[in-house]
Amino acid sequence: MKLKTDTLIGFIVVHLLAALVLVPWFFSWTGVALFAAGIYVFGVLGINVGFHRLLTHRSFACPLWLEHTLALLGACCLQFSPPFWVAVHRRHHHHADDELDPHSPVKSFLWSHFGWLLVRPPDMKPAVMIDRYARDLLRDPFYVKLEARKNWMKVTVASWLLFYAAGLLARLIAGDSVIEAHQFGASLFIWGGPARTVFVWHTTWAVNSVSHIWGYRTFNTPDDSRNNFIVAFLAGGEGWHNNHHADPNSARHGHKWWEFDLSWITIRLLMLLGLATKVSLPSPGLAETFNRATPTR
Ligand SMILES: [Zn+2]
Ligand SMILES: [Zn+2]
């Protein structure tokens, strides 16, 4: 199968840029704060709440302006456009761990983590996938526009440059030298852009790889999904993946009180603010459905 060299080069470049956090010249506490805030804003709000729980599974409803905002934040994670991300993930649920699963670790750990992103068989082409699994999103011109001409990538790069410009301007206004201002801008760019993106990449990918190999199974689902507390902690609740495969429509992935689910807490907050409605909760009969008598742990 032909290697997607453009994707491979993109991965290498973004990882190399992220590695610049190890160079002291690029360090600033504001950069670190932007990195941490970005994991929540782009990763949790954008990918988990927006792309995954809202657009893919429609586990809650919200005003269109909020849906579009969440989708835009998700698009800034360089994980495909909303329609293609949704299509890939819906296919994963339809074929979890069988031969049509886009990223099952049955093939290998590295394949499920990112190897699958480096090839594009004909049945995984965006047009084919979106037509089959995410036609509903194409009814909204906003998503059509984001998908067209890889505009989602342009939005991401623009947001990174905005960090640079904001840092540069702030320091120039404060009266710092031009070199100091560029250094601060570069710090915000590296920490808030590539470094944060690489972190969110690997935590999202770990849901596909780690959470289908290691962890406990509360429900005997027909796939290999697991509840993995490390992935759940790092990926804002997405690591309660066995719970999620048992009940994909539920907005809440952490079922037990100690299964900490930051994305669910966020949706709860949106409910309190009156911004999230029609919220799906775990089905009461799940344990019986999956014959929970002998969970493997
Ligand atoms: Zn899965
Ligand atoms: Zn899902």
> Cα(13)–Cα(144) distance, rounded to whole angstroms?
27
Q: Is residue 22 part of a domain?
A: yes
Q: Is residue 194 part of a domain?
A: yes
Q: Is residue 200 part of a domain?
A: yes
Ligand with smallest separation from the Cα of 98: 1
Q: Are 196 and 159 in contact, with CB atoms under 8 Å apart?
A: no
pLDDT, tens digit, 9 for 90 and up, residues 25-69: 999 999 999 999 999 999 999 999 999 999 999 999 999 999 999
> Cα(290)–Cα(288) distance, rounded to whole angstroms?
5
Q: Which domain covers residue 179, as residue numbers? A: 5-281
Distance 57 CA to ligand 2 centre (A): 7
Distance 288 CA to ligand 1 centre (A): 21
- Model confidence at 94, pLDDT cuts 50, 70, 90, reads very high
Distance 54 CA to ligand 1 centre (A): 16
The model's pTM is: 0.95
Distance 94 CA to ligand 1 centre (A): 10
Q: Is residue 287 part of a domain?
A: no
The DSSP bridge partners found for residue 254 are: none
Q: Is residue 292 part of a domain?
A: no
Percent of the chain exceeding pLDDT 90 equals 95
Ligand with smallest separation from the Cα of 231: 1
Task: Report the helix count and the strand count for the chain, using DSSP H and E.
Answer: 14, 0
- Model confidence at 297, pLDDT cuts 50, 70, 90, reads very low
Distance 90 CA to ligand 2 centre (A): 7
Q: Is residue 255 part of a domain?
A: yes
Distance 199 CA to ligand 1 centre (A): 19
Q: Has residue 294 got a pLDDT over 60? A: no
Q: At what angle do helices 196-208 and 5-19 cross, to 10 degrees?
A: 120
Calculate mean pLDDT across residues 13-19: 98
> Cα(31)–Cα(141) distance, rounded to whole angstroms?
35
Calculate mean pLDDT across residues 129-154: 97
Ligand with smallest separation from the Cα of 207: 1
Residues with CB under 5 A from ligand 1 (ion): 225
Q: Is residue 289 part of a domain?
A: no
Q: Is residue 291 part of a domain?
A: no
Residue 171: in which H helix or E strand, if any? helix 151-173
Half-sphere exposure of 129 (CA within 13 A, CB side): 25
Tally the domains of the chain: 1
- Model confidence at 290, pLDDT cuts 50, 70, 90, reads confident
Q: Are 130 and 137 in contact, with CB atoms under 8 Å apart?
A: yes
